[in-house]
């Protein structure tokens, strides 16, 4: 951690009957506040913004039915900064005020920590030695006020009245009637052994939301996850909110030099593609062809997906007869291409203690882990075992969200806490993409496999694993480019055939130049399910992507983020006048203009369309 400001103790109190009035802790800017009080032996909290209630009085608890009493309290202010190994920012400021409440629950000492940032809060319980062996029931209510629209879960689906829902997966994003956006989720589950991931449900007694997680206390130092509330004026503000990352534990790896974010080709959606001379399949010759393309185009990774092996039991893998995995790995090493190898737990039990060692011995740089389940302890152990063997890991098929873990264990490079782009056409649409980008993405990096260029081929059913329903993929090639930028991930997965990228080499240039880690990120336009504009900077070059729903629209993209006094060359990748997300999805145009800070680009997008830019300062 790079510390750039001092930690300041604000107040320390030890007063009898401490909660005669609520204790309030404010954010550094004084606009966000959390208040706590004990009433009839029960602990309650509330949250306000600009003096207006955001979360009404809601109950907090750690041991079911325990009577809470306050022993002491202190408030301190922290203002430091730290540098992620990779991510949306080169440096992240951690500026908050922390309330520490020393409590007893039926006489058992326990501490409650609440950190209040300008853009959100987090609270967790820290256990003491006296709690060892006690069953914990970490409960927090959420009396969400003024909710107009609600979105939640792995696919950002809409939620009706959350107070009547049986179970809601995190994050829950609420757009209030006054325009304020808030998100409910958790952070640092990685450090909270024994707890499974958080879910929300209705509290019938109070008609409010509640989250309950249970575990057995192991005693002093054990922590619950942080319950997190994010606040923003727009949905885009939530996308660049760093509260959950700041709450996560700092990096636990002494050496991170081997962790390299990047772009990677992926074979799964290409199977059956016929370029006229070659048909891609699950075999050695196809893998070598992918590797050649990656090496020639500067694509760092290639992901070998399922069926390269047929079974895995007791430390032994039976490799498919069509695949010479040793030859593939040696060829990739010679070409300088890193390999992500898939593992499917449904095919047997290799033995998780030796699995990662085996993959490292094969020469893999990482693992794409399928069907590992929504199990927090198992996920934690897998990330740790992967790191011990210098392997990146990309969890698929309904993984634990584990928000903030990429700070703690940055070898977690991505995961499919979203809906894969060609899966289930009834569920995936431009609107679904936009919901996932602004809802599911709040939990951290996503592997959504955007970036298809052969949209006509995909819609015509010319792939073994394309959409089940033909002509149902609504997108444009420019939107595909923009989507790869909008989604935050450490591994940008490119899912199309090499030939389709080469057919549009001038458009593919954007993806070749685009980094996978950034110095700064802004969201300039946002409306959940409707549109987004994301700008990301690497050194002095800005990459900007806009995506629209199935409404043709023009978004104004103000260039106020450019350095004043400099002139920039802007390469614009845009839908053509006749582009349409279904009937003419591969039409695009590229042009170059000169711009400066204060200018506005009018991003015109077709149905299901997009717009992308690269802005380079002129010498």
Q: What is the full DSSP assignment across 450-496?
A: -----HHHHHTT-STTS-SSTT-----HHHHHHHHHHS--SEEEE-S
Residue 20 banded pLDDT, cuts 50, 70, 90? low
383, pLDDT greater than 90: yes
The answer to whether residue 532 sits within a structural domain is no
The answer to whether residue 605 sits within a structural domain is no
41-45, 183-187, 293-297, 311-315: which range is least confident on average? 311-315
Same domain, 191 and 157: yes
Quick one: pLDDT at residue 407?
Answer: 98
In this predicted model, which residue has the larger pLDDT, 17 or 163? Answer: 163
319, pLDDT greater than 50: yes
Residue 205 banded pLDDT, cuts 50, 70, 90? confident
In this predicted model, which residue has the larger pLDDT, 1 or 603? Answer: 603
Same domain, 282 and 355: yes
Q: Mean pLDDT across the chain, nearest whole number?
A: 93
Residue 376 banded pLDDT, cuts 50, 70, 90? very high
262-276, 365-379, 553-567: which range is least confident on average? 365-379
4, pLDDT greater than 90: no
15, pLDDT greater than 80: no
Taking only the tens place, the pLDDT of each residue in 136-158 is 999 999 998 888 899 999 989 99
**Residue that finishes a domain, picked among 508, 528, 553:** 508
199, pLDDT greater than 60: yes
Same domain, 309 and 195: no
Alpha-carbon distance of 314 to 495, in angstroms, equals: 32
**Residue that finishes a domain, picked among 482, 508, 534:** 508
Same domain, 63 and 187: yes
- Regarding beta strands 392-395 and 366-370, do their DSSP bridges make them parallel or antiparallel, or are they unpaired? parallel
Quick one: pLDDT at residue 526?
Answer: 98
Same domain, 268 and 242: no
Residue 443 banded pLDDT, cuts 50, 70, 90? very high
Same domain, 364 and 437: yes
Same domain, 240 and 341: no
Residue 426 banded pLDDT, cuts 50, 70, 90? low
10, pLDDT greater than 60: no
Per the structure, the count of domains in the chain is 2
Quick one: pLDDT at residue 571?
Answer: 98
Quick one: pLDDT at residue 202?
Answer: 83
545, pLDDT greater than 90: yes
Q: The whole model's pTM is what?
A: 0.95
Residue 55 banded pLDDT, cuts 50, 70, 90? very high
CATH number at residue 354: 3.20.20.70
3-state secondary structure of 386: helix
The answer to whether residue 435 sits within a structural domain is yes
Alpha-carbon distance of 308 to 312, in angstroms, equals: 11
Quick one: pLDDT at residue 475?
Answer: 96
Quick one: pLDDT at residue 166?
Answer: 80
CATH number at residue 184: 2.70.98.10
The answer to whether residue 66 sits within a structural domain is yes
473, pLDDT greater than 60: yes
Same domain, 286 and 152: no
Quick one: pLDDT at residue 95?
Answer: 98
3-state secondary structure of 113: strand
Same domain, 79 and 208: yes
The answer to whether residue 594 sits within a structural domain is no
Residue in the structure block whose two tokens are 């909660």? 19
**Averaged over 29-58, what is the pLDDT?**
96
Quick one: pLDDT at residue 310?
Answer: 95
Same domain, 175 and 288: no
Quick one: pLDDT at residue 423?
Answer: 67
Domain housing 414: 262-508
428, pLDDT greater than 60: yes
The answer to whether residue 44 sits within a structural domain is yes
For residue 427, with 0-12 CB atoms within 10 Å meaning exposed, 13-18 middle and 19 or more buried, which class applies? exposed
Residue 588 banded pLDDT, cuts 50, 70, 90? very high
Q: Annotate 578-609 with DSSP letters as a single string.
A: T-BTTTBTT-EEEEEEEEETT-EEEEEE-TT-
Residue 6 banded pLDDT, cuts 50, 70, 90? very low
Q: What percent of the chain has pLDDT over 90?
A: 86
Q: In what order do the strands lie in the sheet with 135-144?
A: 23-26, 32-39, 42-49, 52-61, 135-144, 208-216, 199-203, 168-169
The answer to whether residue 266 sits within a structural domain is yes
Quick one: pLDDT at residue 243?
Answer: 98
Residue 469 banded pLDDT, cuts 50, 70, 90? confident
The answer to whether residue 534 sits within a structural domain is no
Same domain, 338 and 466: yes
CB contact at 8 A, 96 and 78: yes
**Residue that finishes a domain, picked among 213, 247, 281:** 247
Q: Residue 463 has which token pair?
A: 């792939």
**What is the biggest distance separating any 2 CA atoms in the chain, rounded to whole angstroms?**
83
**Averaged over 105-112, what is the pLDDT?**
96
Q: What is the DSSP letter of 53?
A: E
Same domain, 357 and 490: yes
């Amino acid at each position: 951690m790079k510390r750039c400001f001092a930690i300041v103790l604000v107040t320390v109190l030890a007063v009898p009957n401490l909660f005669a009035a609520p204790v309030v802790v404010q954010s550094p800017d004084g606009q966000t506040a959390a208040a706590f009080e004990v009433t009839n032996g029960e602990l309650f909290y509330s949250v306000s913004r600009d003096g207006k209630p955001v979360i009404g009085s809601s109950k907090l608890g750690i041991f079911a039915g325990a009577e809470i009493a306050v022993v002491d309290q202190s408030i301190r202010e922290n203002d430091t900064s730290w540098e992620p190994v990779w991510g949306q920012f080169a440096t992240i400021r951690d500026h908050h005020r922390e309330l520490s409440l020393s409590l007893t629950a039926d006489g058992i000492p326990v501490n409650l920590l609440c950190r209040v940032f300008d853009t959100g809060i987090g609270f967790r319980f820290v256990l003491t030695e006296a709690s060892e062996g006690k069953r914990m029931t970490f409960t927090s209510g959420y009396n969400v006020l003024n909710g107009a629209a609600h979105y939640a879960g792995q696919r950002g689906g809409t939620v009706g009245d959350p107070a009547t829902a049986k179970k809601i997966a995190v994050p829950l994003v609420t757009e209030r009637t006054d325009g304020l956006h808030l998100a409910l989720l958790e952070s640092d589950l990685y450090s909270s052994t024994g707890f499974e991931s958080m879910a929300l449900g209705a509290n019938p007694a109070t008609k409010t939301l509640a989250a309950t997680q249970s575990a057995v206390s192991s005693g002093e130092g054990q922590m619950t996850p942080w319950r997190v509330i994010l606040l923003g004026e727009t949905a885009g503000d939530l996308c660049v909110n760093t509260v959950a990352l700041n709450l996560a534990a700092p990096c636990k790896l002494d050496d991170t030099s081997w962790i390299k974010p990047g772009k990677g080709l992926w074979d799964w959606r290409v199977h059956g593609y016929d370029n006229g001379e070659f048909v891609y399949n699950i075999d050695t010759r196809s893998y070598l062809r992918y590797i050649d393309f990656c090496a020639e185009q500067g694509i760092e990774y290639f992901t070998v997906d399922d069926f390269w092996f047929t079974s895995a039991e007791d430390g032994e893998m039976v490799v498919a007869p069509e695949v010479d995995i040793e030859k593939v790995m040696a060829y990739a090493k010679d070409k300088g291409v890193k390999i992500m190898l898939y593992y499917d737990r449904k095919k047997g039990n290799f033995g998780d203690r030796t699995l990662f060692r085996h993959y490292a011995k094969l020469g893999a740089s990482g693992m794409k882990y399928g069907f590992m389940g929504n199990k927090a302890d198992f996920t934690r152990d897998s990330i740790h075992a992967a790191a011990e063997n210098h392997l990146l890991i990309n969890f698929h098929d309904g993984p634990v969200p584990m928000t903030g873990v990429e700070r703690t264990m940055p070898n977690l490079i991505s995961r499919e806490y979203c809906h894969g782009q060609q899966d289930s056409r009834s569920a995936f649409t431009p609107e679904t993409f936009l919901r996932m980008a602004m809802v599911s993405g709040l939990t951290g990096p996503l592997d959504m496999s955007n970036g298809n260029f052969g949209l006509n081929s995909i819609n015509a059913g010319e792939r073994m694993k394309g959409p089940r329903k033909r002509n149902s993929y609504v997108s444009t090639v420019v939107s595909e480019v923009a989507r790869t930028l909008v989604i935050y991930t450490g591994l940008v997965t490119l899912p199309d055939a090499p030939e389709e990228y080469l057919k549009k080499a001038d458009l593919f240039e954007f993806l070749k130049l685009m980094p996978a880690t950034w110095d700064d990120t802004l969201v300039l336009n946002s409306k959940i399910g409707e549109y987004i504009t994301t700008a990301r900077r690497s050194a002095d070059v800005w990459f900007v992507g806009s995506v629209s729903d199935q409404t043709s629209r023009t978004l104004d993209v103000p260039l106020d983020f450019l350095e004043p006094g400099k002139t920039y060359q802007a390469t614009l990748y845009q839908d053509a006048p006749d582009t349409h997300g279904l009937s003419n999805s591969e039409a695009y145009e590229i042009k170059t203009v000169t711009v400066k800070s204060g200018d506005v680009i009018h991003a015109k997008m077709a149905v299901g369309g997009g717009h992308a830019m690269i802005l380079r300062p002129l010498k």
